[in-house]
């Protein structure tokens, strides 16, 4: 059973980029990010020098972002990087022939919006963190 769960988590451990954004799958731990050869060197340096100040290497992005608070140094670092977070939340949707159906909807939130929500609000809407989005421009301007 554990092997199946681990294989399923691998689907959410990815690194992609386009012209303006870096995308990191939320199941990545910081140790895996540092070991992944495709991940941007500057982001790895930021993780090593800034984010690891208050974060365990085995912490996943999903866990860190879900439980992040404004007083953490990692929050301040990600705010400088203009981080956004893709999440899934449960939303009611009216059906064509009456009734309401609840389904998961994907949304992109600014980091500030995510951190401003308390844990009870996140649990109530069934929030699941999917990926971290970082601005390449902010990454370029960040001084290590």
Tens of pLDDT, residue by residue over 5-29, are 555 567 678 999 999 999 999 999 9
Question: Is residue 81 pLDDT above 90, yes or no?
Answer: yes
Question: Which pLDDT score, from 0 to 100, does residue 4 have?
Answer: 56
Tell me what pLDDT residue 6 has.
57
Read off the pLDDT of each residue in 78-82 and give the average, rounded to a whole number.
95
Go through the chain and tell me how many residues it has.
Answer: 144
Q: Where are the domains of the chain?
A: 2-133
For the domain covering 2-133, report its CATH number: 3.30.465.10
Full-model pTM: 0.86
Give residue 7's pLDDT: 58
Residue 62 has pLDDT above 90, yes or no: yes
Range 45-69 average pLDDT: 95
Question: Does residue 2 carry a pLDDT above 70?
Answer: no
Which three-class secondary structure string do you get for the chain?
CHHHHHHHHHCCCCEEECCCEEEEECCCEHHHHHHCCCCCHHHHHHHHHCHHHCCCCCCEHHHHHHHCCCCCHHHHHHHHCCCEEEEEEEEEEECCCCCEEEEEEEEEEEHHHHHHCCHHHHHHCCCEEEEEEEEHHHHHHCCC
pLDDT on residue 97 = 76
Q: How high is the pLDDT of residue 117? A: 95
The number of beta carbons lying within 10 Å of the beta carbon of residue 23 is 15
Query: pLDDT tens for residues 120-130?
Result: 999 999 999 99
């Amino acid at each position: 059973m554990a092997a199946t769960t681990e294989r399923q988590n691998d689907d959410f451990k990815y690194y992609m980029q386009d012209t303006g954004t870096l995308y990191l799958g939320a199941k990545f731990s910081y140790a895996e990010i540092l070991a992944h050869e495709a991940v941007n060197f500057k982001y790895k340096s930021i993780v090593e020098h800034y984010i690891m100040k208050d974060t365990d290497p085995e912490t996943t992005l999903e866990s860190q972002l879900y439980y992040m608070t404004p007083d953490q140094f990692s929050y301040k670092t990600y705010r400088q990087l203009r981080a956004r977070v893709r999440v899934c939340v449960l939303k009611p949707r009216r059906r064509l022939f009456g009734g309401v159906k609840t389904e998961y909807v994907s949304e992109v939130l600014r980091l500030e919006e995510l951190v401003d929500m308390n844990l009870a609000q996140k649990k109530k809407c069934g929030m699941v963190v999917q990926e971290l989005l970082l601005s390449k421009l902010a990454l370029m301007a960040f001084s290590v």
